[in-house]
Amino acid sequence: MSADIADCVKRTLNRYFRDLDGGRPHAIYDMVLAAVEKPMLEVVMKQADGNQTVAADMLGINRNTLRKKLTEHDLLRGLP
């Protein structure tokens, strides 16, 4: 499964560079993390039925770290 995600990221980054058409890339690391992190958190929170402890365990991170990430991505609305 992770290979499928990695392939998707590679294809998307290759398209990004192609679409730059000679332009200079900037802050790619932050761009990719932001693009991947929010949807990942949304899906995991849905799978965990909004339970942050369960979601943190699924992600392999501390619950406080999860809460910080949810706040950064404005995903705490409607969550307990």
pLDDT in tens for each of the 80 residues of the chain? 678 999 999 999 999 999 998 889 989 999 999 899 999 999 999 999 999 999 999 999 999 999 999 999 999 986 65
Q: How far apart are CA 13 and CA 11, in angstroms?
A: 6
Residue 56, in any domain of the structure: yes
Residue 80, in any domain of the structure: no
Residue 28, in any domain of the structure: yes
Domain that holds residue 6: 2-72
Residue 78, in any domain of the structure: no
> Which CATH number does the domain housing residue 18 bear?
1.10.10.60
CA dist list (Å): 34 to 27, 49, 53, 66: 11, 23, 22, 14
For the whole model, what pTM was predicted? Answer: 0.79
Query: From the CB of residue 63, how many other CB atoms can be counted at a distance below 10 Å?
Result: 15
Q: How many domains does the chain have?
A: 1
Residue 46, in any domain of the structure: yes
pLDDT at 21: 87
Q: Is the dihedral of CA 70, 80, 59, 57 positive or negative?
A: positive
Residue 22, in any domain of the structure: yes
